[in-house]
Amino acid sequence: MVAVHDPIGDELQSKVEIELVAGSSTDPELLLHRYISRDGERLVKVPTHHSQRSARVVSKVDEKDTHSLSEKDSASSSGRANADEENAPTLIDFEEGDPEDPRNLSPFRKNLITVTIILSLLNSTFASSITSGLSRAIREQWGVASIMTGLLVSLYMVGYVLGPLCYAPMSEHIGRRPVLVAAFTFYFIFSVACPVAPNIGSLLAFRFLQGLFATCPIAVSGGVFADIYADPIKRGRAVALFCGSTIMGALSAPFISGFIAASHMGWRFAFWVNAIFAGCVLAILVFSVPETFRPVLLQKRAKKLRSQGQNVVSAYELEDKDFKSFVVHVLLRPVIMLYKEPIVAAICVYIGMMYGLLYMFFLAYPIIFQELRGLSPGKGGLMLLPIGLGAICVTIAHYLYDIHIQKLRKNKVQVTLEQDRLFITMFSGWFIPVGLFWLAWTSYPSVPDEVVMLGGIFFGVGFTSLFIGFLNYVTDCYKIYAASAHGIMSVTRSLIAASFPLFAPAMYHHMGVHWATSLWAFVALFLAPVTVVFYKFGPEIRAHSEFASALLAQDL
């Protein structure tokens, strides 16, 4: 379902919000499977052909007076075929200022939802890298090879691959809340299972299932923020905090788990810490995050009004609910976007490679700082913290730039989407190869640990800026399909991240720290111009994008 803003004539308001049923997501113009028009008191459904365009009308229901339905009529040249349906229902929508509309939630409720989603992400990314500080203890207890402890990270990330393929489109089908609550409940269950695992095989299985359900907040967050923040400025700030928490959760786990594993509490207690964290977040999630998907809320309102004797319907109830339509239009939408959308494809490759490098560090840093320099797991984990410092610095930079953009808009200065979302990213992306070359060629025994670790600041700046810039850019480009775009981005980056820990130890042992790290620095250098291309040619690229151009044309 999509929300369309159409000008429908001089006698009506210049823009009227209309809920329509989306047809095929592969349609270049997103033409509708059917359209809804009003003919007097009758709701008319007529099949739409590619050549047909007409004005459409929606009736809106105010929660303050659910028995009073307001209508706006429009001329529809092709919507007369079934005008004899005397008892057709009234199509309802939210009235402006409706308290049940998620866009009208109080600032406190919006901030609470945002903080809760960020906490859930912190927990899931914390769990993703927790075994980095536990590898040595697990190997010693069960006598397994290093590749098995690498699998504890990789299998978790495989779960990250599979989950978004379901969670993102499902959240656009049945709503955000049931998907979030159900997935995070199972995540909590398998978080509890990890510390009681009797052997390495069961721990590997629990890690996979844990990752499968942990990815839901990442896949659904973009849709939730789009639901509650109509203002792109506020939504961009929420996404910036979300991106910063992505890296902070993953970076904090290795040194925390490393110190716990070296203490008398043992490595299992580190998993218990994560499970307790998950339980607290789940409780907050259940009580603080309502349903935010507007089509589902309208469906519930329509059912309530029908129980009171009113003949009404929501646009969501007019969608095809058969299994084939569900698979083609819901589950396959993220995959179709990867294939059809050059913006999504390029960002998936770029962020995927950088995300893979981050998770490779969780196995490469122990080699650099523990094997070669003799640091303990806890102190070795601390070497990752400069990456977090870089993330904090660039997040602040994005906030300050956002304030600058607002001032320009207040002064009636036109700001393009690329200037708004990609300006800082275009420059900071070059910091990634700088940081990698720094790490590569300062990793000599004669160079102090503190100097080597400073290279992480540059990587943190570039990595976090890519996330903030690209996630906001994709959300603004694809709007109502943002969750599907974010979902396939999560799948591809997690797929790459799952593979890197499998070969990272062998790569660093055979090539050496200098050339293994330099190889990835050259890859990052090759990908850095992507942001420059988007910044300079973004409008032209979006004009040839099937989804983005259609959404722009319909002002979605």
Helix/strand/coil for 555: coil
84, exposed or middle or buried, with CB in 10 Å at 0-12, 13-18, 19+?
A: exposed
Burial code of 423-441, b = ≥16 C-beta within 10 A, e = fewer?
bbbbbbbbbbbbbbbbbbb
Closest residue by Cα to residue 460 from 389, 520, 395 = 389
Structure confidence at residue 58 (pLDDT): 39
Sign of CA pseudo-dihedral 170, 175, 180, 181:
negative
Question: Is 90 exceeded by the pLDDT of residue 272?
Answer: yes
Structure confidence at residue 267 (pLDDT): 93
Q: How far is 188 from 192, CA to CA, in rounded Å?
A: 6
Amino acid at 168: A
Q: Give the rounded percent of residues in the chain with a pLDDT score beyond 90.
A: 34
Q: What is the pairing mode between strands 312-313 and 90-91?
A: parallel
CA angle 59/328/88 to nearest 5° reads 25
Site of tokens 């203890």: 137
Picking from 199-213, 271-285, 368-382, 541-555, which range would have the lowest pLDDT averaged per residue?
A: 541-555
Q: Give the H or E element holding residue 90.
A: strand 90-91
Q: Give the rounded percent of residues in the chain with a pLDDT score beyond 70.
A: 80
pTM score over 0.85: no
Structure confidence at residue 94 (pLDDT): 84
Tokens for 331?
């589950």
pLDDT (tens digit per residue) in 195-231 = 999 999 999 999 999 999 998 988 788 789 888 988 8
The DSSP 8-state label assigned to residue 69 in this structure reads E
Amino acid at 151: L
Task: Tell me the CA distances in angstroms from 111 to 222, 225, 289, one per residue in order.
Answer: 15, 10, 11
Picking from 24-28, 274-278, 393-397, which range would have the lowest pLDDT averaged per residue?
A: 24-28
Neighbouring-strand partners of residue 47: 34
Q: How far is 390 from 460, CA to CA, in rounded Å?
A: 4
Structure confidence at residue 59 (pLDDT): 40
Structure confidence at residue 245 (pLDDT): 77
Structure confidence at residue 24 (pLDDT): 33
**More confident call, 548 vs 427:** 427
pLDDT band at 453 (very low <50, low <70, confident <90, very high): very high
Q: How far is CA 25 from the centre of its chain?
A: 19
Structure confidence at residue 551 (pLDDT): 60
Average pLDDT, the chain: 79
What is the torsion angle, in degrees rounded to the nearest 10, for the CA atoms of residue 77, residue 79, residue 85 and residue 86? -50
**More confident call, 261 vs 17:** 261
